[in-house]
């Protein structure tokens, strides 16, 4: 199981939200590049970089941060937030992102998202499948749709997508444990999916539980920033 630290960006700084609520913003560091270098220095290879400003603006806002991290580290960066047009995904890749995560666009504009799978290849595209009560949530989680989670993932898996980040919004940022049972169900329903668990990780024990479940990766944010897990503990996985 790969550990994938998360850096969420507002105003160019590292922040975390709880359950996608922008009013719950807590700032952890004013230099995302320095934070990324800490992860790299510990031997971690991947980074989940989220432009929360971009998610609201529906276009990339923190482009300079993406460029700086990609130019000054060897981290494999997957980037998301505000990518809802051809120009934006092309910009993300040109700035150094190895993969791009699309969530809202996959729901709101499936024709466009399908075209990206064809143009860039399924290995370069991560499906963002964020859910509230097993329904897909979009727009920085400010809108819950009527779309069922597992059929949604399955429909894109059948189109070639293999990488999926699944966040249970009810768990995110609360340090109360991940939705392991949900992830096991998804993997049982969709064998071969490279499922990346996100939300709720609070301890090494949670990560060990996720590893046993068979998920491809686990995104860790608040647990690290709040001192619940150390860099050394994160680096011991994978």
Catalytic choice (51, 78, 130, 172): 130
Beta-carbon contacts of 162 under 8 Å, excluding residues fewer than 6 positions away, are 122, 123, 192, 193, 194
| Cα first-last separation, the chain | 5
What is the residue range of 34's domain?
A: 2-235
Kindly give the residue spans of alpha helices, DSSP state H, lying in 121-230: 149-157, 180-189, 204-213, 222-225
Domain count across the chain: 1
Is 8 designated active site?
yes
pLDDT digits (tens, 9 = 90+) for 163-193: 999 998 877 666 779 999 999 999 999 999 9
Whole-model pTM over 0.75: yes
At residue 19 the predicted structure's pLDDT band, cuts being 50, 70 and 90, is low
pLDDT at 25: 80
pLDDT at 84: 92
Catalytic choice (8, 78, 168, 206): 8
Is 51 designated active site?
no
CATH number at 49 reads 3.20.20.70
């Amino acid at each position: 199981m790969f550990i994938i630290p998360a850096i969420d960006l507002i105003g160019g700084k590292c922040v975390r939200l709880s359950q996608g609520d922008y009013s719950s913003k807590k700032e952890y560091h004013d230099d995302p590049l320095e934070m990324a270098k800490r992860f790299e220095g510990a031997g971690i290879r991947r980074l989940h970089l989220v432009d929360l400003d971009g998610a609201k603006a529906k276009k990339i806002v923190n482009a300079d941060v993406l460029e700086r991290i990609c130019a000054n580290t060897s981290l494999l960066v997957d980037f998301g937030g505000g990518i809802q047009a051809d120009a934006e995904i092309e910009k993300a890749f040109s700035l150094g992102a190895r993969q791009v995560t699309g969530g809202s666009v996959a729901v709101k504009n499936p024709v466009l998202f399908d075209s990206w799978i064809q143009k860039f290849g399924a290995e370069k595209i991560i499906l963002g499948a964020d859910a509230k009560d097993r329904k897909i949530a979009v727009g920085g989680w400010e809108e819950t749709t009527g779309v069922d989670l597992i059929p949604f993932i399955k429909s894109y898996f059948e189109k070639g997508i293999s990488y999926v980040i699944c966040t249970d919004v009810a768990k995110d940022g609360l340090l109360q444990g991940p939705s392991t049972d949900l992830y096991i169900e998804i993997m049982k329903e969709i064998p071969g999916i490279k499922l990346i668990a996100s939300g709720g990780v609070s301890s090494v024990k949670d990560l060990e539980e996720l590893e046993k479940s068979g998920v491809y990766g686990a995104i860790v944010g608040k647990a690290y920033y709040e001192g619940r897990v150390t860099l050394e503990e994160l680096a011991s996985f994978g």
